[in-house]
Amino acid sequence: MEIETNEVQEREIVAAPAERGSNLPLVILLIALVVWFGFQTLQLANERTNLDEAKGHQEAAMQEAEKLRAQFESMISKTSELANKGHAGAKLVMDELQKRGMPVGSETMSPKQ
């Protein structure tokens, strides 16, 4: 009987290390997620900086476009005044503008915001 008891004890000792509950895969997964989110955050911050820079480069062009628009509106209003006074060339220009869908006369163009 002593031999059987020793064999049972040896089997229990050998079987015990099977339950160690390793957290290594979970730790690796969490580290990978933190690295991925960090990378994505840096990429988005970099893209935002590039977008702000591109917007800054367009500011001068937008201001120039607003100046040209104001000059065009002034020219249209003066041409409209001439057409109302009976100038034939001004009437022809205003008719062509109306055919092409440009607002003329008292309804001048306003910048769309």
- Do residues 78 and 94 lie in contact, with contact meaning Cβ atoms separated by under 8 Å? no
pLDDT value at residue 66: 95
Show pLDDT as tens, one digit a residue, over the chain (113 residues): 556 666 666 666 555 555 567 899 999 999 999 999 999 999 999 999 999 999 999 999 999 999 999 999 999 999 989 988 888 998 898 888 889 888 775 544 444 44
Residue indicated by tokens 């099977």:
18
pLDDT value at residue 102: 81
- Do residues 66 and 111 lie in contact, with contact meaning Cβ atoms separated by under 8 Å? yes
pLDDT value at residue 69: 93
Q: What is the phi/psi pair of residue 62, to 5°?
A: -65, -40
pLDDT value at residue 11: 61
Tokens in use for 61? 């062009």
